[in-house]
A and B are shown apart, each in its own frame.
Chain A
Amino acid sequence: MLVERLRASDEGAMAQLYDRYSGIVYSVALRVLNDTGAAEDVLQEVFLQLWRNPGVFDSSRGSLGAWLSVIARNRAIDALRKRKPVTDFENVILSVECNLESEAGRKVSIEKARAALTKVPADQRKALELAFFQGLTHTEIAAKTGEPLGTIKTRIRAALTALRKAMIEK
């Protein structure tokens, strides 16, 4: 497994991981930051962190690709808010049922995710994207959209539920 080879400081393994997941990581960072240079920095930082400490990723918990995409999003939000990194790599544990290891599997999973997102009602999707891609808190989203706090909470929760259901149905 590539992560095992990383633990042995195998540069070839890192090159393979980069080729496999750099597109996802860079796209997320660019979507958050809207700046190619800053997104490139996040890309470098995420992979270097994995190289320095491959043990931070727990393979029993899920896909490395999904994990890297969440880490990239979190670091990009830190950069966007011009704050010190608050993301703790070890604490990001996620479970996702998708195959991202093979090129074909990644394509399928990405297409499924995009399709699932289109099924999420627009108001829920908007609240979810403001939280995920702009790093806004639910209070900030409520202020930005003019909706009550409780509504925003409910919409975000419902959006994630809808996304999950859409993934299972497909």
Chain B
Amino acid sequence: MNDKLKPGHEQYAEDLALYALGALEADSCAQLELHLKDCPACRSELAALRGDAALLALSVSGPAPPQRSRQRLLSAIGDIKKEQPVAVRAIPVRRPWWSFAPVFASLVLAVIAILLVRENTNLKQANEQLTAQMIKADKDSQKAREIMALITAQDAVHVSLVSTGTPPPHVKTIYQPRTGRLCLMASNLAPLPAGKTYELWLIPKSGAPMPAGLFKPDAHGMAMMMPENPEVPAWTDLKAFAVTVEPEGGTTTPTMPIVLMGSGQ
């Protein structure tokens, strides 16, 4: 056996024997196959080793195959012969309309699937929006409950705050229609420019405003006036009082703007 191998190829002898039987491990196979490509002597030895292995196969004794196997094989061969291609002219066949039904059904299903996916996406978005709104409403409701609880709490202290700047002027008039007498008390009045005075006007329900007296504030913005001789006729129907800033000595008709005004009602 070794005499068939080239000198130096003895190293492959055992692997060739294993390879002939299919008993060589895969990693060694790759290396041997690479060598076999370029070595006719080793290829020849491999064929001889396979022949030896065939002797092993021939040595096996056993029963004959069942008779049905022969019939089975010959039937199969007959079927294969029938299947062999025969030159036939291809005849274009017009397909009936209903043969496209599966294709059409597939397309319809695909469209429905797309619509369902889109609808599902929209529903998801709407659901997310509703959830967000519910969370916000819940927060708002919680805040309203907290405010109401504070307002109605027995032990809460209520404090009103006013401006910390110049307090607004405050004028109070007391008028007696029956006699035509009147009195004015004022506080927080703004200082007047030089040559100017405040003038009180009685505005009747009908007719032009009537001058009702002059007054000036002191250094603290306080003023008080009660004319000795009423300038306003008795039984005048009062609508309102107004104050304007007028030249020293007063006028008979008010000069706009009205700086203070109070209804008689």
Contacts and interface: CB of A to CB of B under 8 A. Distances in A.
A83 to B, nearest CB: 12
A65 B55 CA distance: 11
Interface residues of B, number: 45
Interface in B50-104: 50-66, 69-70, 72-74, 76-78, 80-81, 84
Main SS class of interface, B: helix
Given A92-B50, A95-B48, A157-B13, A163 B55 contact: yes
Contacts of A51: 77, 80
B25 interface: yes
Nearest to B64: A23
A22 B49 CA distance: 23
Interface string A65-100: 111011011100100000000000000111111101
Interface residues of A, number: 68
Contact of B78 (A11, A22, A128): A11
Given A62-B47, A160-B20, 16 more contacts: A14-B73, A24-B60, A28-B57, A36-B66, A40-B65, A43-B69, A92-B50, A93-B47, A113-B55, A113-B56, A114-B61, A156-B14, A156-B21, A160-B53, A164-B52, A164-B55
Interface of A: 9, 11, 14-15, 18-19, 22-24, 26-28, 30-31, 36, 39-40, 43-44, 47-48, 51-52, 61-63, 65-67, 69-70, 72-74, 77, 92-98, 100, 109-110, 113-114, 116-117, 128-129, 131-132, 135-139, 141, 153-154, 156-157, 160-161, 163-164, 167
Interface of B: 1, 13-15, 17-18, 20-25, 44, 46-66, 69-70, 72-74, 76-78, 80-81, 84
